[in-house]
């Protein structure tokens, strides 16, 4: 049975989330490719390091906090199985051989660069995750790629002789960790020079693949609340640096996507729409954007989880209609979303854009028009 719910209009001003510090990425603005990667390295290098194992705060302690199960504060979530495991079940000391306990997975395999577990790349928690002991052993130092046979315990993962495919829910997480490592570690001083390539079987070289697959995973599994919270905890409580590909997913396109061509997108629209409001039956209404560069159209995005769950679209990627997005041409000043749940808060943002296909350019600078509405019971 289909229901149509009227909308009670509630204007909502988005709060300041403990998230990206103001000005953190200023020196990266407007850059792409190698200059952007160099700027990001300068921003995130020199972080505070912690020991791998110690009586003071170490990697065990940090993972117990940043990978805590949101539904059970006594547990952590393991990366490849997705299983919630008690924090106390650490595979250390006399329990180190327990195959169903958790240990510390280097997503960028430590042998790909030979950094081991030394403070620095070996203890950088931006790429360390809790993992089931036996699954961690099965992954070993394999590169990442699609294909292979299902793992008997981590049933969402596949592997073969030269690659490992994680479960769908963390494919983007893995990609963004690999991109972070290739950006953070550029061979300064005694640090390794890590790079991503489009190969598997990289073995002990300071290379990790497979780049084209990782880019695909980055688009397929977008940044979620767990990833954002983890990034914030690492920045504010521990290392003092951030994973830029979580904060700005478009940076991965600018640096690692070979199909992205810099400076080919159309000019960004001059202004956002005005008079953005919600009407009955979840119809969102606005006044067309004005200015020297008029939009080709608008991408309206809905989320039930909050404004911070609505990611900025990526330039060069065509706006598409899905259950939570509507694409409307310039001059059409409404978008309708149906089949909403009663008594529920919904969050909307509208992005103006120019161009189409590879030339698409979204207006993401400035205050994005946002509104929260609540359906009636």
Q: Judge whether 234 lies within some domain.
A: yes
- Round to whole Å and give the CA distance between 199 and 11: 50
Residue 7 has pLDDT above 60, yes or no: no
User: What are residue 159's DSSP bridge partners?
Assistant: 149, 164
At 15 the three-state DSSP class reads coil
Among 256, 284, 301, the domain-final residue is 256
Identify the pLDDT of residue 316: 86
- Round to whole Å and give the CA distance between 55 and 14: 41
Question: Which of 38-42, 119-123, 261-265, 311-315 bottoms out in mean pLDDT, i.e. has the lowest?
Answer: 261-265
- Round to whole Å and give the CA distance between 258 and 237: 35
Identify the pLDDT of residue 274: 84
Does one domain contain both 48 and 170?
A: yes
Asked if 249 and 311 count as a contact pair (C-beta separation under 8 A), the reply is: yes
Does one domain contain both 153 and 267?
A: no
State the pLDDT confidence band at 281, using cuts at 50, 70 and 90.
Answer: low
Residue 212 has pLDDT above 90, yes or no: yes
Terminus-to-terminus CA distance in the chain, angstroms? 16
User: What are residue 352's DSSP bridge partners?
Assistant: 298
Q: In b/e form, how buried is each residue of 44-55, taking b as 16+ CB within 10 angstroms?
A: beebebbbbeee
User: What are residue 222's DSSP bridge partners?
Assistant: none
Mean pLDDT within 72-93: 96
Q: Judge whether 25 lies within some domain.
A: no
Does one domain contain both 160 and 270?
A: no
Q: Report the candidate in 167, 170, 188, 168 with the shortest Cα–Cα distance to residue 178.
A: 170
Identify the pLDDT of residue 56: 96
- Round to whole Å and give the CA distance between 136 and 218: 22
Please, which residues have CB within 8 angstroms of residue 151's CB and are 6 or more apart in sequence? 80, 135, 138, 157, 158, 159
Percent of the chain with pLDDT over 90: 73
Does one domain contain both 40 and 174?
A: yes
Q: Judge whether 152 lies within some domain.
A: yes
* Phi/psi of residue 31, nearest 5 degrees: -100, 160
HSE (CB half, 13 Å, CA atoms) of 261? 7
Identify the pLDDT of residue 265: 62
- Round to whole Å and give the CA distance between 115 and 111: 7
Q: Which domain holds residue 234?
A: 33-256
Does one domain contain both 219 and 83?
A: yes
Does one domain contain both 249 and 267?
A: no
State the pLDDT confidence band at 107, using cuts at 50, 70 and 90.
Answer: very high
Does one domain contain both 292 and 321?
A: yes
Number of domains comprising the chain: 2
Does one domain contain both 173 and 245?
A: yes
Q: Report the candidate in 77, 54, 55, 198 with the shortest Cα–Cα distance to residue 129.
A: 77
Q: What is the pLDDT of residues 123-165, one digit of tens each?
A: 999 999 999 999 999 999 999 999 999 999 999 999 999 999 9
């Amino acid at each position: 049975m289909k229901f149509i719910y009227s909308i009670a209009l509630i204007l909502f001003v988005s709060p300041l989330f403990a998230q990206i510090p103001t000005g953190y990425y200023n020196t990266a603005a407007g850059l792409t490719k190698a200059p952007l990667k160099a700027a990001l390295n300068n921003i995130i290098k020199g972080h505070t390091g912690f020991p791998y194992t110690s009586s003071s705060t170490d990697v065990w302690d940090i993972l117990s906090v940043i990978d805590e199960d949101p539904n059970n504060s006594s547990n952590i979530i393991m990366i490849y199985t997705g299983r919630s495991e008690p924090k106390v079940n650490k595979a250390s000391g006399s329990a180190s051989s327990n195959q169903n306990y958790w240990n510390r997975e280097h997503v960028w395999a430590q042998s790909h660069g030979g950094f081991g577990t030394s403070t620095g790349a070996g203890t950088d928690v931006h790429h360390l995750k809790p993992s089931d002991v036996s699954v961690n052993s099965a992954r070993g130092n394999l590169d990442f790629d699609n294909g292979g046979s299902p793992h008997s315990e981590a049933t969402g993962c596949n592997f073969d002789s030269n690659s490992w495919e994680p479960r769908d829910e963390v494919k983007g997480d893995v990609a963004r960790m690999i991109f972070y490592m290739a950006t953070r570690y550029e061979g300064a001083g005694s640090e390794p020079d890590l790079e991503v390539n489009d190969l598997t079987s990289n073995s002990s070289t300071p290379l990790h693949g497979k780049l084209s697959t990782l880019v695909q995973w980055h688009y397929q599994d977008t940044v979620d609340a767990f990833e954002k919270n983890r990034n914030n905890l690492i920045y504010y409580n521990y290392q003092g640096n951030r994973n830029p590909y979580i904060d700005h997913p478009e940076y991965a396109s600018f640096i690692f996507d070979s199909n992205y061509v810099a400076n080919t997108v159309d000019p960004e629209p001059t202004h956002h729409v005005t008079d953005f409001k919600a009407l009955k039956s979840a119809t969102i209404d606005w006044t067309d954007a004005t200015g020297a560069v008029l939009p080709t159209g608008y991408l309206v995005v809905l989320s039930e989880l909050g404004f911070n769950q609505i990611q900025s679209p990526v330039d060069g990627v065509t706006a598409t209609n899905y259950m939570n997005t509507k694409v409307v041409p310039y001059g059409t000043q409404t978008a309708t979303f149906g089949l909403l749940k009663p008594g529920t808060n919904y969050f909307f943002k509208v992005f103006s854009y120019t161009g189409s296909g590879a030339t698409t350019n979204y207006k993401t600078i400035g205050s994005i028009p946002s509104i929260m509405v609540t359906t009636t019971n």
